[in-house]
Amino acid sequence: MLHAFTLVVEAAVLYCVWLFIRGYVIPSTLRNIPGPKRASLLTGNLSIMFSPQGIPWHLSMSRVFGKAFKINGWFGDEQLYVTDPLALHHIVIKDQHIYEETSMFIHGNRMSFGHGLLGALGDTHRKQRKILNPVFSNAQMRNLAPIFYSLSQQLCDRLERTIDTLEFTEVNMRPWLSKISLEIIGEAGFGYSFGSFGGADRGNNYRAHVKDYGRVIASLALPRFFLPFFTAIGSPGFLRMLLNLTPSRRLHKLRDIVDAMDKTCVGIYEDRKKEVGDGEDRQDIISVLLRANQAAEAKDRLSDEELRGQINTLVFAGSDTTLSALSRVLHLLALHPDVQSKLRAEVVQARRDNAGDDLDYDVIAGLPYLDAITRETLRLHSPVTFLSRTTRADISLPLSKPILSTSGHPISAVPLKNNTNVIIGIAAANRDKDMWGEDADEWKPERWLNEDGSVRVTATKDADGERFPGVYSGMMTFLGGSRACIGFKFSQLEFKVVVSMLLERFEFQLPVGKEIGWRNSVVTAPILKGEFDGAAQLPLMVRFIKRDGI
């Protein structure tokens, strides 16, 4: 066993030598593309890209070097960072079969979540997407809205009992928002309760494992680049043996977390499968998916392994991102009390107009100021700062506006070799001043409102008629094309219901003597300003509001 481990170490060293030769010796098509100076011969610019303090770097680089610039990865590997709208259209829509998810992303997700949507490529991804798309339709969101309201009510009741006063009290809202995000994913996603608002977590402390997974995987951001090498050298059993031999506490912690989550996931899947087989008409996402899979033609059906993989995929694709967005909007509403008051008036009036009852999906989706705040928050502060793709063939990437090479010559298309990493600058694209105006860095919900007060839902265009290929109002937050976030309607509904319910019951102000900052990670998170290594937290002053006439 130790001999095998030694051989793997030697192979890994040779792999690193090859990466060094490829990065520093073999000519690259990106050599004449401008970009920031590498910070390290070993990791290039990756340390700042993945740094907890990296958000300003991501937002500023395209304004310094243009909308397509070069960065350096491990051992001099040259990559292209893109915010150009035409280039992004080719990456996520026109040539999406060439620009696929990175091997690190796919292998990592398969090992962690199973063979769900985030671990699929090509025909397998298209097959899964085909049967999943109807499960996230508007019609299904209408069925799920009562679950969102019920859980949000539980959140507000618990929070009210915690405050127990009409005076402002400092409350760390982060754990509360974490609970509601997980509980909505659990109940609406697969009919499972994490026990966030009473009762026990029915599955081996799944909630704790979900939280731990995010922290551990973020700490392994740079080592994960070598995952494709290890997955290529042996079977899953062999890799498991290597993992057990590796003297890394973080890797062992990750192994134990994934094992526990998988055990719970299998139990949840078998429960839902039996209930669907018995004819129960549950409306959670997995139950609806199981019924759709049964009704599909044999060639279109997903395997049990693929269906199980959607459970953990739902949790990790949906809970942390929505948690980040909810944290951000409460921070913004505390910063802008006038906006908070105006939004509260809108949602309170909507409930009064509905005889005090919860709003149905179409009504809450149509509240103009709530919708404008949702869009502006998700534009200005995307929970995910950037994503990566890898070219699967040689290709030329066109640009809407030429950039200047390092020698001063205009470049209107960037030649890319097979296996070149391309970075999609989500946060930077969402602040492109050519697209969004000189006030692109400002949070202005009114930018989404027409003169008659209705919401502008069409994509913004720049002066040349170019627009971003985002599936949601042209912003890149949920991407576009066949790999756009399949659950973006689910996310919007959750965001709107939770925010509206909180504002009906509570008022939020900034904390006294504390300043909130934001940390870059797999998903952005609030912290006390400057404490990038500290726990995520969102301290706000919260006051209960008496509701009259509702």
Q: Residue 309's CB: how many other CB atoms inside 10 A?
A: 26
Tell the residue number behind the tokens 């409350």, with chain if given: 171
CB 416 within 8 A of CB 80: yes
Going by C-alpha positions, the residue among 172, 225, 510, 176 that lies closest to residue 340 is: 510
DSSP 258: H
Which backbone phi and psi does 462 adopt, to 5 degrees? -85, -175
The C-alpha atoms of residue 276 and residue 295 are separated, in whole angstroms, by 12
The CA-based angle 80-83-89, given to 5 degrees, is: 95
**Pair 272, 290: CB distance under 8 Å:** yes
Give one DSSP letter per residue of 151-191, joined into a string: HHHHHHHHHHHHH-SSS-EEEEHHHHHHHHHHHHIIIIIHS
Measured in degrees and rounded to the nearest 5, phi and psi for residue 311 equal -70, -60
Which amino acid belongs to residue 99? Y
Residues 411/405, Cβ–Cβ less than 8 Å: yes
* Token pair belonging to 427: 């946060």
d(C-alpha 157, C-alpha 426), whole Å: 36
Distance CA 174, CA 536 (A): 7
Question: Could you give the C-alpha distances from 269 to 119, 190, 305, 307, 310, in angstroms and in order?
Answer: 18, 8, 10, 8, 10
| Cβ atoms of residues 75 and 387 within 8 Å | no
Q: Is 265 annotated for ligand binding? A: no
What distance in Å separates the CA atoms of residue 154 and residue 171, rounded to the nearest whole number? Answer: 17
Per the DSSP assignment, residues forming a β-bridge with 8 are none
Q: Which residues are annotated as a binding site for heme?
A: 485
**Known binding-site residue numbers:** 485
